[in-house]
Amino acid sequence: MWQNLSLRGRINLLLALLLALGLAVNIGRQVAEAGPRVQAEDQSVIRLAREFIEMIVADLNEAPDPDARLNQIARDLSRLRHVSIALRDEDGSPLTPPRLDADDEARGPPAWFVSLVHPEQTAVSVPVSIHGKPGSLVITSHPDDEIAEIWDAIVTQLEVGSVIALALFLVMMNVVGRALAPLQSLAQTMTEIEGGHYEARVAPGGAPELAAICAKLNHLAATLGEAVEEKRLLAERAVSLQDVERKEIARELHDEFGPYLFSLRAHASALAKQADGRAPSADSVRKHGAALLEQINALQQFTRRVLERLRPVGLAELGLGQALESLSRLWRESYPGVRIETTISPSLGATGETADLTIYRVVQEALTNVFRHAGATAVNVVIEPADQLLTRDGRGCARVRVSDNGRGMEPGQKLGFGLVGMRERILALGGTLNVVSGDGGLTVEALVPTAAA
11-23 pLDDT, tens per residue?
A: 888 888 888 888 8
Does 328 share its domain with 432? yes
Whether residue 280 is contained in a domain is answered as yes
Among candidate residues 244, 262, 294, the one where a domain is terminated: 294
Whether residue 18 is contained in a domain is answered as yes
User: What is the domain count for the chain?
Assistant: 3
User: Which residue range is the domain that position 334 belongs to?
Assistant: 311-449
Whether residue 189 is contained in a domain is answered as no
Whether residue 228 is contained in a domain is answered as yes
Averaged pLDDT for residues 167-173: 85
Highest mean pLDDT, choosing among 83-87, 275-279, 391-395, 401-405: 401-405
Among candidate residues 294, 326, 356, the one where a domain is terminated: 294
Does 273 share its domain with 351? no
Q: Which of 143, 131, 140 has the alpha carbon at shortest distance from 87? A: 140
In the chain, % of residues over pLDDT 70? 79
Does 211 share its domain with 170? no
Whether residue 300 is contained in a domain is answered as no
Please report, in angstroms and rounded to a whole number, the separation of the first and last CA atoms in the chain. Answer: 49
Does 141 share its domain with 211? no
Q: What is the CATH number of the domain that holds 25?
A: 3.30.450
Residue 393's pLDDT is 57
Give the separation between CA 353 and CA 451, rounded to whole angstroms.
Answer: 8
Q: What is the CATH number of the domain that holds 440?
A: 3.30.565.10
Query: What rounded mean pLDDT belongs to the chain?
Result: 77
Does 145 share its domain with 108? yes
CB burial of residue 142 (10 Å; 0-12, 13-18, 19+): buried
Give the separation between CA 348 and CA 381, rounded to whole angstroms.
Answer: 14
Does 122 share its domain with 228? no
In the chain, % of residues over pLDDT 90? 0
For helices 208-252 and 417-429, what crossing angle results, to 10°?
A: 140
Residue 3's pLDDT is 66
pLDDT band at 390 (very low <50, low <70, confident <90, very high): low
Does 205 share its domain with 286? yes
Does 377 share its domain with 401? yes
Q: Which of 10, 8, 3 has the alpha carbon at shortest distance from 187? A: 8
Does 316 share its domain with 379? yes
Does 271 share its domain with 361? no
Does 243 share its domain with 364? no
Q: Which of 133, 112, 118 has the alpha carbon at shortest distance from 39? A: 118
Give the separation between CA 270 and CA 217, rounded to whole angstroms.
Answer: 77
Does 245 share its domain with 281? yes
pLDDT band at 102 (very low <50, low <70, confident <90, very high): very low
Tell me the pTM. Answer: 0.43
